[in-house]
Structure 1
Amino acid sequence: MMGSMMGPMMGQRSRERIVGLTGQHGPNKDTFMSGRILIVDRIATERALQESALIAVGFDCLHCDGFEDALARLPDPSIDLLFVPTAPGVQTDFDATLTFLKRLRAVPNGVRLPVVVAGRWPAGGERLALLLGGADEVVVAPVSTTLLQARIRNLLRARDTEDELSRREATHQALGFSEAAATFAPRQRIAVISPEAERGMTAYRGLPEPLRRIAPQDSFTEAGHEEDLFVIDGAGLCRAGHPARELYRIVAELRSRSATRRAAQLVLIPETSREAAMLLDLGADDIVPASVETDEIAYRARRLLRRKSLADRLRATERHGLEAALTDPLTGLWNRRYARPHLIRLITEARSRSRPIAVMLLDIDLFKAVNDRHGHAAGDEVLAQVARRLRDGLRPADLLARIGGEEFLVAMPDTSLEQARIAADRLRRRIRDAPFRVAPEVSCRITVSVGVAMGPGRPDPEQEAEALMRRADEALYAAKETGRNRVTVSLSAA
Structure 2
Amino acid sequence: MDDSIIALETIGSRLKESGLEVAMTTSPLEALALATEGPQLFDLLILDVMMPQMNGHELTRQLRGHARTLNTPILLLTSLDSTDDRVTGLKAGADDFFTKTAPDAEMIARVRSFISLGKMRAQLQAQHEAMARVMREPEAPMPPQARVEIIHHTPVMGERLARALRGSPLSGDFHLTLRSPSQRMTTTEADLLVVSYPVALEGDQPLLKRFGFDEEAPAIIVVDEVESTSRRVSTFDSGADDYLTLNTPMAELIARMGTALRRQRRQRQLRTSRDRAMLVAVTDPLTGLYNRAYFHEALGVEFRRAQRYKHPMTLVLLDLDHFKQVNDTLGHTAGDQALREVSTRLRQTARSTDVVARHGGEEFAMILPETDLEQGLIAAERFRAAVEGAVVKGARGGSRALTISAGVGCYPAHASSVTELIELIDAALYKAKRQGRNRVCAVSNVPETPAAVTAPSPASPPNPLERLRRLVAEDLDGPLSATRTAARMLHEASSPGDSLHILTAQLRQSSDAVRQELLALMDELSRNILESRRDSH
The two structures have a TM-score, normalised by structure 2, of 0.47
- Partner of 2:313 in structure 1? 376
Matching residue within 48, 57, 82 for 2:45: 82
Instruction: Please give the secondary structure, in 2, of the residue aligned with 1:139.
Output: strand
Q: Does 1:298 align with 2:298?
A: no
Q: Write the mapping of 1:326-365 to structure 2, written as runs, cut at 5 A.
A: 326=282
Instruction: Please give the secondary structure, in 1, of the residue aligned with 2:3.
Output: coil
Decide whether aligned partners of structure 1 residues 278 and 114 sit closer, same or farther in structure 2, where only a CA change above 3 A counts. same
Instruction: Please give the secondary structure, in 1, of the residue aligned with 2:76.
Output: strand
CA-CA distance at 1:54 after TM superposition? 1.5
Q: Write the mapping of 1:28-39 to structure 2, written as runs, cut at 5 A.
A: none
Instruction: Please give the secondary structure, in 1, of the residue aligned with 2:71.
Output: coil
Instruction: Please give the secondary structure, in 2, of the residue aligned with 1:156.
Output: helix
Instruction: Please give the secondary structure, in 1, of the residue aligned with 2:115.
Output: helix
- Partner of 2:162 in structure 1? 201
Whole-angstrom CA distance in 2 between matches of 1:49 and 1:193: 39
- Partner of 2:208 in structure 1? 252
Q: Write the mapping of 1:9-408 to structure 2, written as runs, cut at 5 A.
A: 40-74=1-35, 75-80=37-42, 81-86=44-49, 96-179=55-138, 182=141, 185=144, 187-197=146-156, 198-204=159-165, 205-206=167-168, 208=171, 209-216=174-181, 218-220=182-184, 225-234=188-197, 246=202, 250-255=206-211, 262-269=217-224, 270-317=226-273, 319-320=275-276, 323-326=279-282, 370=307, 374-377=311-314
- Give the unaligned 5+ runs of structure 1: 1-39, 338-362, 379-403, 405-436, 445-494
Whole-angstrom CA distance in 2 between matches of 1:248 and 1:93: 51
Tell me, yes or no, if the aligned pair for 2:77 and 2:97 is still in contact at 8 Å.
yes
Tell me, yes or no, if the aligned pair for 1:71 and 1:104 is still in contact at 8 Å.
yes
Instruction: Please give the secondary structure, in 1, of the residue aligned with 2:23.
Output: strand
Decide whether aligned partners of structure 1 residues 290 and 176 sit closer, same or farther in structure 2, where only a CA change above 3 A counts. same
**Alignment-mate amino acid for residue 230 of structure 1:** L
Whole-angstrom CA distance in 2 between matches of 1:291 and 1:95: 32
CA-CA distance at 1:102 after TM superposition? 3.3
Whole-angstrom CA distance in 2 between matches of 1:180 and 1:43: 42
**Alignment-mate amino acid for residue 292 of structure 1:** T
Decide whether aligned partners of structure 1 residues 232 and 438 sit closer, same or farther in structure 2, where only a CA change above 3 A counts. same
Decide whether aligned partners of structure 1 residues 151 and 372 sit closer, same or farther in structure 2, where only a CA change above 3 A counts. closer
Show CA shifts across 1:166-200 (max 9, x none).
32233223334423664865652322424151533
Show CA shifts across 1:205-262 (max 9, x none).
435343233454x2536x852433211233xx6xxxx9x962895342441799x962
Whole-angstrom CA distance in 1 between matches of 2:70 and 2:100: 25
**Alignment-mate amino acid for residue 119 of structure 1:** T
Whole-angstrom CA distance in 1 between matches of 2:78 and 2:257: 23
Whole-angstrom CA distance in 1 between matches of 2:291 and 2:45: 34
CA-CA distance at 1:77 after TM superposition? 4.4
**Alignment-mate amino acid for residue 58 of structure 1:** G
Instruction: Please give the secondary structure, in 2, of the residue aligned with 1:188.
Output: strand
CA-CA distance at 1:151 after TM superposition? 1.9
4+ long deviations beyond 4 Å: 92-95, 180-187, 332-337, 366-369, 371-374, 437-440
Whole-angstrom CA distance in 1 between matches of 2:244 and 2:216: 20
Tell me, yes or no, if the aligned pair for 1:77 and 1:109 is still in contact at 8 Å.
no
The two structures have a TM-score, normalised by structure 1, of 0.51
Whole-angstrom CA distance in 2 between matches of 1:277 and 1:196: 26
Show CA shifts across 1:355-386 (max 9, x none).
xxxxxxxx99x9599399754359xxxxxxxx
Aligned pair count reads 305
CA-CA distance at 1:295 after TM superposition? 1.9
Show CA shifts across 1:265-321 (max 9, x none).
101232344211211221212223432221221222222223332333334235537
Whole-angstrom CA distance in 2 between matches of 1:199 and 1:231: 13
Q: Write the mapping of 1:460-475 to structure 2, written as runs, cut at 5 A.
A: none
Decide whether aligned partners of structure 1 residues 290 and 311 sit closer, same or farther in structure 2, where only a CA change above 3 A counts. same
**Alignment-mate amino acid for residue 66 of structure 1:** S
Tell me, yes or no, if the aligned pair for 1:173 and 1:179 is still in contact at 8 Å.
yes
Instruction: Please give the secondary structure, in 2, of the residue aligned with 1:320.
Output: helix
- Partner of 2:500 in structure 1? none
Show CA shifts across 1:84-112 (max 9, x none).
2456xxxx769733333334444554433
Tell me, yes or no, if the aligned pair for 2:75 and 2:96 is still in contact at 8 Å.
yes
Show CA shifts across 1:426-464 (max 9, x none).
xxxxxxxxxxx9799xxx9xxxxxxxxxxxxxxxxxxxx
Identity of aligned residues (%): 18
CA-CA distance at 1:139 after TM superposition? 0.7
Tell me, yes or no, if the aligned pair for 1:162 and 1:310 is still in contact at 8 Å.
no
Decide whether aligned partners of structure 1 residues 335 and 181 sit closer, same or farther in structure 2, where only a CA change above 3 A counts. farther
**Alignment-mate amino acid for residue 279 of structure 1:** T
Tell me, yes or no, if the aligned pair for 2:201 and 2:235 is still in contact at 8 Å.
no
Bigger relative CO (Cα 8 Å, ≥ 6 apart) = 1
Instruction: Please give the secondary structure, in 1, of the residue aligned with 2:124.
Output: helix
Which structure is larger by alpha-carbon Rg, 1 or 2?
Answer: 2
Tell me, yes or no, if the aligned pair for 1:271 and 1:289 is still in contact at 8 Å.
yes
Whole-angstrom CA distance in 1 between matches of 2:213 and 2:67: 38
Decide whether aligned partners of structure 1 residues 247 and 369 sit closer, same or farther in structure 2, where only a CA change above 3 A counts. closer
Instruction: Please give the secondary structure, in 1, of the residue aligned with 2:177.
Output: strand
**Alignment-mate amino acid for residue 184 of structure 2:** F
Show CA shifts across 1:367-415 (max 9, x none).
599399754359xxxxxxxxxxxxxxxxxxxxxxxxx9xxxxxxxxxxx
Decide whether aligned partners of structure 1 residues 179 and 136 sit closer, same or farther in structure 2, where only a CA change above 3 A counts. same
CA-CA distance at 1:333 after TM superposition? 11
- Give the unaligned 5+ runs of structure 2: 295-299, 316-358, 360-368, 373-411, 413-537
Tell me, yes or no, if the aligned pair for 1:232 and 1:265 is still in contact at 8 Å.
yes
Instruction: Please give the secondary structure, in 1, of the residue aligned with 2:190.
Output: coil
Decide whether aligned partners of structure 1 residues 303 and 107 sit closer, same or farther in structure 2, where only a CA change above 3 A counts. closer
